[in-house]
Structure 1
Amino acid sequence: MDTNIQNSYNEAKKLYEKHGVDVEDVLERLSRIKISLHCWQGDDVRGFLNKGQELSGGIAVTGSYPGRAGTPDQLRQDLEKAFEFIPGQHKVNLHAIYADTEEHIDLDELEPRHFENWVSWAKEKGYGLDFNPTCFSHDKAKDGFTLSHSNPEIREFWIKHCKASRKIAESFGRELGQPCVTNFWIPDGYKDTPVDRMSPRVRLMESLDDIFSEPISEEYNIDAVESKLFGIGSESYVVGSHEFYMGYALTRGKTLCFDSGHFHPTETISNKLSSWLLFGDQLLLHVSRPVRWDSDHVVTMDDELLDIARELVRGELLDKTHIGLDFFDGSINHVAAWVIGTRNTLKALLRAMLEPVDKLKEIELEGDFTSRLALVEEFKSYPFGAIWDYYCSKADTPVREDWLAEVKHYEKEVLFKR
């Protein structure tokens, strides 16, 4: 290890330990956190099952940066490259349209065998896998409705697809020895104000009950449901609102997904996490960065990301939380986007872990709000970067911006030649 990195770490460690923070314990805890990298950043949400299918369901990717993955092998290659620059052992989040198969099949016909190459790869590399049914970009979703569709035949198609997705996820968990989180998000909704808000929600509830009717052990698969405030084409009404899914998750024992871009533009999710986990058993986080709307920008270490991390650490909620990324930016290097977003998420968690939480809670309980504010603000400028550099170096991961030169080399030698 570089002497300067070691010396800076030693000095920073002393400052934190003065406040009772066990830095080595913090780094050990950080190393156990798994971030789930979303595969769809690597190819602009195109997938491989129905090549040429136009994006739909309120999803849009802007930009045409060269080098996006065009095959499963290319996507795995790019993910491996990204993981080289991210300390820790993490997961990959797959959508159903990323099946690796030469068969001409539809979504409702998918089986675990269509993902065998993904499982073999993950097993070899030590990655976990998460999963999502793909209820968009399909002829049977063109009118904006899937599981809540008024046509029972179309509804049944999507129910079958979601049931197949749970079985695929179960196989992931069994093969890889760690649970697969399967997240259910659908784009259903109206562009303009509907007359009947109730009936689509009744149909969605009944569809979900049918999908989850087959019991699957959470040792292998964890079901999560995800809400949205609005989307392109569903500006006035989304069937799967936050209130709908919160009620559903609580009454059915499911995990609730909070996507940081799926709420009102002035609303944040950090204040919601403790309330949910007071009643729900688990939480799925989709970490994104909305800019005016759910635009899914690459995650930066902004105030909301830091507040999310602090809430998870201060509330001792990490053991109940699954963390995944969800953004797709086609305007910059696809591999770099993964690296930037994941490293920022880990940095935010590290900063939160390096706070003297017990001491701050004690001060707050005593009513000394002056000291609380003063210490919280002072800790914002403590040298967490020296701890992060040491953590990266110890994990044999590039320190600071050194990873960027390697990504640029990969871009020139691999991505630009596609």
Structure 2
Amino acid sequence: MSSTSNLDAAFSLATEHYQTIGVDVDAALKTLAQTAVSMHCWQGDDVAGFDHVGELGSGLAVTGNYRGRARTAEELRGDLEMAYSLIPGQQRLNLHAMYGEFDRPVDRDEIGVEHFQGWMDWARDQHVSLDFNPSFFSHPQAADGLTLAHPDKGIRQFWIDHGIACRQIAAAMGDAQGNACINNVWVPDGYKDTPADRTAPRQRLTDSLDKMFADPIDSSRMLDAVECKLFGIGSESYVVGSHEFYMGYAITRNKVLCLDAGHFHPTEVISDKISATLLYVPELLLHVSRGVRWDSDHVVTMTDELQAIMQEIVRGQYLDRVHIGLDFFDASINRIAAWVIGTRNTLKAILMALLEPTADLQQLEREGDFTARLALMEEQRTMPFGAVWDYYCDASGVPVGRQWLTAVRQYDADVLAKR
């Protein structure tokens, strides 16, 4: 029996098994195929970027020295194409402002759409939609760890202008691709030690954000998102843009709130925050990551929390209000493999959630039958999810199981080893 016949047979049996618990596998796969994950560009080059205006800093650090880091936009796009060829379903790309293509030195307050035309052309050819991020770090104007909350008005204005420019770039991307480009704002602002005044920096940040967002842009072209953080390297004692700050800002300004899985206390999870925040904000952006004891942005693995995040989205019927993006950077392993592992795991977790008998579980809960609810949740763990995933990969024209690793190893030898 051929491998395809084996896959079909296993899928048929799995489908029958899921039918016994009232789950429509075909409907789940159709929904999965329509669910895009925004893969982040900065895994491919260790958050170096291409504007060459500063060393990586402002609370960011990448460890490892695996060979073959992308050094140009062309190399990065080639690596991304390789990764996308191994991942089923829709793709998006999350691009930072520091990844523009500059034929002459251009400071960040002067960047324009023309510096990202190459990315837009590539995205069109690859049938990939773009998301965007201003780059408020790794720059001389961020050397002391403050940007939009800086006490110096001139420095604040520099970063306000950068943010305004980025919104225009994101809007142009949205126009080109026919769907909204999410423009996510994260700033590293904070203090290493205990501040004497926690209020003034937050007042300055509020004022800067208001000025940056002053020009209304239609939500069909671009969505503004703001990202909170608990602490960072160099801002261990105080972060201006805390969760409470941005929660309040997003509610009062009708912005998308970004929750990063690594930006909270190590015992705190974002899966529990999804339903709470969506009562008050229009949409959420998730940066799916894996912190190990701190915001260390490890490659996404199939953890309980990853599954809980996707279960919460599916159970709450939030797929149309939650944008799923990735945020990790690991230079200790093959960078393309990191993309593939993290993105495929994210998609697997979404599929597992879609294959859950959600209506039955919620009905049991309404009836107060918590015994049956727990029993069925645990039985779900041994349902034949893997057969459905393998069939989906094969039907999508990407490698099944571990076969993708062979392609990455060949690319490593043929391309990365020669850089």
Q: Would you call these one fold, judging by a TM-score over 0.5?
A: yes
Aligned pairs for 1:177-192 (under 5 A) are 177-192=178-193
Amino acid in structure 2 at the alignment position of 1:138: H
Task: Please show how residues 89-108 of structure 1 align to structure 2 within 5 Å.
Answer: 89-108=90-109
> Could you tell me which of 13, 36, 39 is aligned with 2:38?
36
Q: 1:187, CA displacement in angstroms?
A: 0.3
Counterpart Cα distance in 2 of 1:221 and 1:404:
36
Question: Residues 54-93 of structure 1: matches in 2 within 5 Å?
Answer: 54-93=55-94
- Name structure 1 gaps, 5 residues minimum: none
The CA deviation at 1:317 is: 0.9
SS at match of 1:74: helix
**Bigger Cα displacement from structure 2, 94-103 vs 239-248:** 94-103
Q: Partner of 1:144 in structure 2? A: 145
Instruction: Determine the C-alpha separation between the residues in 2 that align with 1:103 and 1:170.
Output: 24
Give per-residue Cα distances to partners, 1:242-291, cap 9 Å, x unaligned: 00000000000000000000000110010010011112110000000000
> For 1:14, what is the secondary structure of its paired residue?
helix
Q: Does 1:324 align with 2:322?
A: no
Q: Secondary structure at the match of 1:295?
A: coil
**Aligned AA (1:297):** H
1:49 to 2:51 alignment: yes
Superposition pairs of residues 9-408 of structure 1, within 5 angstroms: 9-50=11-52, 53-408=54-409
CA distance in 2, matches of 1:108, 1:46: 18
Offset, 1:241: 0.2
SS at 1:36 equivalent: strand
Q: 2:4 aligns with which of 2, 25, 34?
A: 2
Alignment-mate amino acid for residue 403 of structure 2 = D
Secondary structure, aligned partner of 1:129: strand
Shift of 1:101: 2.0
Query: Quick one: which amino acid aligns to residue 7 of structure 1?
Result: A
In the aligned structure 2, how far is the partner of 1:279 from the partner of 1:140? 34
2:347 & 2:321 partners in 1: Cα distance? 17
CA deviation string 1:116-166 (max 9, x = no partner):
000000001100000000000000000010000000000000000000000
Q: Tell me how far apart the structure 1 counterparts of residues 130 and 278 of structure 2 sit (CA, whole Å).
A: 24
Match for 2:203: what amino acid?
V
How many angstroms apart in 1 are the aligned matches of 2:150 and 2:166?
A: 19
Partner Cα distance (2:280, 2:330) in 1: 35
Q: What is the SS of the residue equivalent to 1:258?
A: strand
CA distance in 2, matches of 1:122, 1:54: 28
Give, in whole Å, the separation in 2 of the partners of 1:154 and 1:240: 17
Alpha-carbon distance, 1:20 to partner:
1.0
Deviation of 1:301 after TM superposition, in Å, equals 0.6
AA at the equivalent of 1:382: M
The AA in structure 2 aligned to 1:49 is D
Residues 369-412 of structure 1: per-residue CA shift (max 9 Å, x gap)? 11111110000111100000000000011000000000000000
- Alpha-carbon distance in 1 for matches of 2:289, 2:322: 16
**Could you tell me how far apart the structure 1 residues matched to 2:275 and 2:90 are?**
26
Amino acid at match of 1:99: G
TM-score (norm 2): 0.99
Residue type of the alignment partner of 2:272:
N
Please give the alpha-carbon distance, in whole angstroms, between the structure 2 residues aligned to 1:100 and 1:76. Answer: 12
* Residues in 2 aligned to 1:380 and 1:34: alpha-carbon distance in whole angstroms: 24
CA–CA separation in structure 1 for the residues paired with 2:92 and 2:239? 30
**Percent identity at matched positions?**
57
**Alignment partners' CA distance in 2, 1:178 and 1:284:** 15
* Offset at residue 237 of structure 1 (A): 0.1
Aligned residues: 417
Give the whole-Å Cα distance in 2 for the aligned partners of 1:364 and 1:146: 48
Q: What CA distance in whole angstroms lies between the structure 2 residues aligned with 1:358 and 1:89?
A: 27
Paired letter, 2:190: G
1:3 maps to a residue whose letter is: S
Distance 1:309 1:380 in 2: 15
Q: Deviations over 1:93-118 (max 9, x none)?
A: 11000001212110000000110000
Match of 2:295, SS? strand
1:89 & 1:234 partners in 2: Cα distance?
A: 37
Q: Where do 4+ consecutive residues of structure 1 move more than 6 Å?
A: none
SS of the residue corresponding to residue 287 of structure 2 reads: strand
